[in-house]
């Protein structure tokens, strides 16, 4: 059985090579993203292993099915980039990694909070230039601050636990309250109340039609002036141009992003020698109170090992006729 891993980086090759690979499975690592231009590379591969920015739209899925692919093994929890109706029509099975390391993403969200609050990104640049002035670097104590957690699954619950350790007051919003989060003293409130009361808001919900642009011009207006927004979930949760206006007016005081709605053509590649063609992202990067990382919240040794092991287990289980972690079968 042959499997091809699209969008595979050096760290993917390392983690999959260190995981127990089924004896009958041949792995091919392909750094290119999966799209209509590269789909021919998957011919005669029963399994295609895809990542978050690979194109799994209907035209690509049709070409995969024609080339002999029968299983799409996602190296991610989210599957909003997959045309599920087309996959089902074509008889393709879809499996995913429902959880790898919630600590990896939650801790990265906290790192963004600390960096923005204490101006660490600016401080490091100053000292490298021999500027040891502290002017403009004043932060605030986290203890006693109100933190809003939108989405309280495994990652959101882990994030809430960390912030409770700082002594923060927790507000939560999720259609399905998590008893573990309630046990931390968090209060589940309507979204409007969370936005109005929280000084720090962190997004940990999946992207779907209901959550797309959950943060938009209207919701930004309801936040406390100078609030901090953190997004380590999905780029589409936020209307990015609306963020720029809120930052310009001072309504939004701090912004930390690990995901970006138009990241597919940018992230995971070295583009330092090229002009940035995305005007919205370029404008965001001009603000001193904005930190953007290139979708690296998942990037810990533990998370990579879990992704590799679960993905290979998913492939082996599907091949044995007992599929697990199914999105569709």
198, 72 Cβ separation under 8 angstroms? no
What is the distance, to the nearest Å, from the Cα of residue 106 to the centroid of all Cα atoms in its chain?
Answer: 11
From first CA to last CA, the distance across the chain in angstroms is 19
- Is 263 one of the annotated active-site residues of the chain? yes
Q: Exactly one of 45, 96, 204, 234 is catalytic; name it.
A: 234
Whole-Å CA distances, 2 to 25, 26, 177, 315, 328:
6, 5, 42, 10, 21
- Is 81 one of the annotated active-site residues of the chain? no
Helices 154-165 and 102-117 sit at what angle, rounded to 10 degrees?
40
3, 25 Cβ separation under 8 angstroms? yes
Distance CA 295, CA 281 (A): 14
189, 214 Cβ separation under 8 angstroms? no
- Is 46 one of the annotated active-site residues of the chain? no
CB atoms within 10 A of CB 241: 15
CB atoms within 10 A of CB 180: 14
List the beta bridge partners of residue 254.
Answer: 228
For 228, the 3-state DSSP assignment is strand
Main-chain phi, psi angles of 75, to 5 degrees:
-95, 40
Q: Exactly one of 263, 271, 283, 301 is catalytic; name it.
A: 263
Active site residues: 234, 263, 295
């Amino acid at each position: 059985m042959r499997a091809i891993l699209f969008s595979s980086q050096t760290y993917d090759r390392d983690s999959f090579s260190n995981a127990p690979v089924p004896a009958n499975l041949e792995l091919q690592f392909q750094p290119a993203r999966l799209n209509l231009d590269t789909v021919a590379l998957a011919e005669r591969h029963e399994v295609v292993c895809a990542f978050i920015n690979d194109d799994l739209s209907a035209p690509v899925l049709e070409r995969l099915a024609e080339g002999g692919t029968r299983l799409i093994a996602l190296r991610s929890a989210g599957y909003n980039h997959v045309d599920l109706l087309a996959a089902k029509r074509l008889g393709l099975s879809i499996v995913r990694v429902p959880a790898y390391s919630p600590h990896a993403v939650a801790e990265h969200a906290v790192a963004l909070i600390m960096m923005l609050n204490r101006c660490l990104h600016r401080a490091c640049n100053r000292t490298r230039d021999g500027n040891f002035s502290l002017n403009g670097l004043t932060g605030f104590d986290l203890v006693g601050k109100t933190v809003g957690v939108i989405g309280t699954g495994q990652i959101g619950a882990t994030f809430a636990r960390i912030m409770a350790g700082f002594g923060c007051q927790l507000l939560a919003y999720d259609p399905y309250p998590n008893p573990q989060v309630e046990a931390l003293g968090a209060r589940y409130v309507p979204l409007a109340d969370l936005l109005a009361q929280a000084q720090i808001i962190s997004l940990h919900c999946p992207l779907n039609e209901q959550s797309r642009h959950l943060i938009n011009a209207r919701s930004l207006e309801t936040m406390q002036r100078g609030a901090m927004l953190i997004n380590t979930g999905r780029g589409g949760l936020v209307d990015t141009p609306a963020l720029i206006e809120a930052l310009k007016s001072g309504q939004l005081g701090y912004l930390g992003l690990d995901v970006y709605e138009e990241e597919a053509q940018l992230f995971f590649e070295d583009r330092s020698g090229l002009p940035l063609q995305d005007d919205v992202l370029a404008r965001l990067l001009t603000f001193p109170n904005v930190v953007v990382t290139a979708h690296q919240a998942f990037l810990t040794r533990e998370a990579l090992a879990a992704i590799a092991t679960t993905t290979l287990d998913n492939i082996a289980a599907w091949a044995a006729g007992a599929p697990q972690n199914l999105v569709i079968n």
